[in-house]
Amino acid sequence: MPAPTDSGCSDRDLHPTTFFSPPLRSSANNAAGTPKPMGWCLMIKRLMVANRAEIASRVFRTCRLLGIETVAIHSDADAGLPYVGEADHAVHLPGNTPAETYLDVDAVLAAAKAAGADAIHPGYGFLSENAAFARAVEAAGLIWVGPTPESIEQMGSKIGAKDLMRAAGVPVLEAPAEPTEADLPLLVKASAGGGGRGMRIVRALADLPGEIATAEAEAASAFGDGTVFVEPYVENSRHVEVQVVGDGRGDVVVFGERDCSIQRRHQKVVEEAPAPGISEAVRAALHEAARNAAAAVDYRGAGTVEFLYDPATGRFFFLEMNTRLQVEHPVSELVHDVDLVALQIAVAEGGSLPSAQASAGHAIEVRLYAEDPAADYQPQSGTLTMIDFPGQPGIRVDSGYQSGSSVSTHYDAMLAKVIAHAPTREQAARRLAAALARAKIHGLVTNRDMLVAVLRDPAFLAGEVHTAFLEGHHTDPPTHPGQGDAAVAAALALAERTRERRTVQRGIPVAYRNVVSQPQVTDFEDGAGRELRVEWFGGRDGYTVEGLTVVDAAVELVTLEREGLRTSYEVRVQGHDPDDVHRDIHRDIRCDVDWPGGHLALAVKPRFVDPADAVATGSLLAPMPGTVISVDVEAGQSVEAGQTVLVLEAMKMQHRVNAPASGTVTEIDVKPGDQVAAGAVLAVVSTGSTNEEMQ
């Protein structure tokens, strides 16, 4: 490794160069980014990504193609993630909270210096839109792969940006000076916010002052800036955004638009390019508006101009400009056959831009999150024991995790982006839905089923997308047809596993009985807490299950036949010690079953529970790992059903833990500030009826 130099750039050379943007779409029939002679420009030798997980991997991939060395930074919790290993070098930032790691400007710059990096790519989130950081990078003599600090600042203030856009002739949503009933509903937004945080919809004028106050408080705590503004809320609006790349010298290339209307809690989950159902005239107007917006600030690098589109009127309004590479940039890359990261690097090096290719086909991206849609999208943490997508043309997976990775509570719970590209929107949706449905994702609850349901929803396929699409839809875990048979497969695979691990009587058929008295019983619980019981017989002729023919049973693959239809189930056993499955206390043994019709995650219920480990009825358990914020009751106090007992903070969200029934608090096991693990007993509420029963 070359010795780092003081300035970090003294060994930078000036070279005559060309750049080449490597095609990212698999059906590469036209060499994109035709090599184009350019002038003298800076050459990046070693680039550090001041970010983590998926986006770091994404940037490294392009760097490898370009021949640029890569540097990763990682916190304690991220040390095992794939991106760290993919980089040529890695620097450890001690700690876990974003503030002490990825958001710590000094630590990040020190890491770049230690690694001898000559450029920093900020990814998205964290410091990507922090002008002070961009300045500090440039002051340290490093190349900043991003827009100028001035552009970041101009666009960072939503109110300021709006003024700028109005001046540039870009349509903006005008905030009513004195809101009246006619202006309802309204949206209260944090000026410094992003990603949906700090947004509140107001449907009654009386609520407005309170919501503004709450939003200000939230914004102040989340972003350090309590400024909020109010604008009209467009019902069934669509979120359409335009991808631009500028060279900083006034040249702005538009790489089409994206639709990001499918959101949950104001966070995008499905994104596509091009936006469906938009007339060519509107499309052209959008592109033009975006170009004007970027040109107004002599924009350099990749950026996204977001618009609120009102399908009822065909009008659109400037929302904001994101001065970074967006999470959803792959859909634009696929339809335009372009490598946006390569372009970011090219313009950072002082190069100029190619013209945009015409859009080809349709691309759809979904964001796979470790979250439980049925439980208000509660983030999930733990070990992602398996993440495996079927490798196939037309499917791109940008993943930050691999099988065995641990997903921590410290950061965003996005596991991967899965993107499909096909000639038509319907084909892309079908391809993506199938790829997701057939993916093996084990260990954590994810929003996969919800994504599949959206992609197969006739309304979605008809292009009827809007930001409220998911409200009350597709959040409940689906019941996959064949779920019962999948549980049978899990039971038989477990039995085979136990058979393989026998120490005595190894040649004897499983569960052999010379006098048959009852079936063998395997009890499971699915993710929603539903109990599934499988009854089966072993013996001379193999396994027997009522209504089914067991064609074959092995540790990882069980083939069953029901009414002439044969299906194979892949079974994975995970747990504290999967070799221990024949023991009594199945310490957290889980089975994941995947089959063409669906997937099922099952927890094996132990045959025995040591009474010493049994949880008292009425115990309140931590729903996830987190920190106790407040305890609202005292031991001995009477509580009503639903009354808040304590508040837990996890993943930047506060969760109220409520009394399950009316009764008396007999036990409080935690105090504010305590860190608790998922499943920890927080308090015990004894219900009156239990006492009566005992008398």
Partner 1 sequence: MTNRAAMLDKLASLDEEHALAVLGGGEKYVARHHERGKLLPRERIELLIDEGSAFLELSPLAGWGSDFAVGASVVTGIGVIEGVECMITANDPTVKGGASNPWTVKKIFRASQIAEENGLPSVSLVESGGADLPTQKEIFIPGGKLFRDITRASARKQPTIALVFGNSTAGGAYVPGMSDYTVMVKEQAKVFLGGPPLVKMATGEESDDESLGGAEMHARTSGLADYLAEDERDAIRIGRRIVARLNWRKATAPPAHDWAEPDADPDELLDLIPTDLKEPFDPREVIARICDGVSATNGAVFDEFKPLYGPSLVVGWAKLHGRPIGILANAQGVLFSEEAQKATQFVQLANQTDTPLLFLHNTTGYMVGKDYEQGGIIKHGAMMINAISNSTVPHLSVIMGASYGAGNYGMNGRAFDPRFLFTWPSAKSAVMGPAQLAGVLEIVAQQSAEAKGQPFDAEGFKAIKEVVEAQIEEQSMPYFLSGMLYDDGVIDPRDTRTILGICLSVIENMPYAGTDRFGVFRP
Residues in the site for partner 1, rule: CB under 8 A?
A: 495, 498-499, 502-518, 520, 538, 540, 581-582, 584, 607-608, 610-611
Q: Which is nearer to partner 1, 1 or 506 (CB)?
A: 506
CB-based contacts of 23, cutoff 8 Å, min separation 6: 31, 32, 337, 339
DSSP state of 620: E
Q: How far apart are CB 514 and partner 1 at their closest, in Å?
A: 6
- The nearest distance, CB 541 to partner 1, in angstroms, is 9
Pick the closer one to partner 1 by CB: 172 or 493. 493
Distance CA 623, CA 613 (A): 18
Residue position matching structure tokens 């072993």: 538
Nearer to partner 1, 284 or 516 (CB): 516
The least CB distance from residue 572 to partner 1, in Å, is 19
Residue 558 Cβ vs partner 1, minimum distance, rounded to whole Å: 15
Minimum Å gap between C-beta 504 and partner 1 is 6
Dihedrals phi, psi of 403, to nearest 5 degrees? -55, 130
Give the side-chain half-sphere CA count within 13 A for 71.
26
Give the shortest CB-578-to-partner 1 separation in angstroms. Answer: 14
Block residue for tokens 């980014």: 33
Q: Which is nearer to partner 1, 498 or 544 (CB)?
A: 498
Query: Judged by CB, which is closer to partner 1: 535, or 632?
Result: 535
Q: Which pair of structure tokens corresponds to residue 429? A: 């949706």
In angstroms, what is the minimal distance from the CB of 657 to partner 1? 28
Residue 679 CB, nearest distance to partner 1 (Å)? 21
Q: What is the 3-state secondary structure (H, E, C) of 215-270?
A: HHHHHHHHHCCCCEEEEECCCCCEEEEEEEEEECCCCEEEEEEEEEEEEECCEEEE
Least separation, in Å, of the C-beta of 481 and partner 1? 28
Q: Give me the helix-helix angle, 448-455 and 425-437, nearest 10°.
A: 150
Between residues 264 and 586, which has the closer beta carbon with respect to partner 1? 586
| Whether the Cβ atoms of residue 477 and residue 449 lie closer than 8 Å to each other | yes
Residue nearer to partner 1 on the CB measure, 305 or 510: 510
CB-wise, 510 or 659, nearer to partner 1?
Answer: 510
Beta 69-74 vs 46-49: how paired, if at all? parallel
Q: How far is the CB of 502 from partner 1 (least distance, A)?
A: 7
Tell me the residue ranges of DSSP E strands in 86-198: 89-92, 119-121, 143-144, 186-190
Q: Phi and psi dihedrals of 509, rounded to 5? A: -55, 150
User: Distance (Å, rounded) from C-alpha 536 to C-alpha 231?
Assistant: 62
Burial 15-38 (b: 16+ CB within 10 A, else e): eebebbbbbbbeeeeeebbeeeeb
Say if residues 476 and 548 touch (Cβ distance below 8 Å). no
CB of 516 to partner 1, least distance (A): 7
Helices marked H in 119-248 — which ranges?
131-139, 149-156, 158-167, 208-223
For residues 500 and 649, which CB has a smaller minimum distance to partner 1 in the complex? 500
Residues 6+ apart with CB under 8 A from 563: none
Read off the DSSP letter of residue 322. E
Q: Which is nearer to partner 1, 545 or 657 (CB)?
A: 545
Nearer to partner 1 (CB atom), residue 204 or residue 609? 609
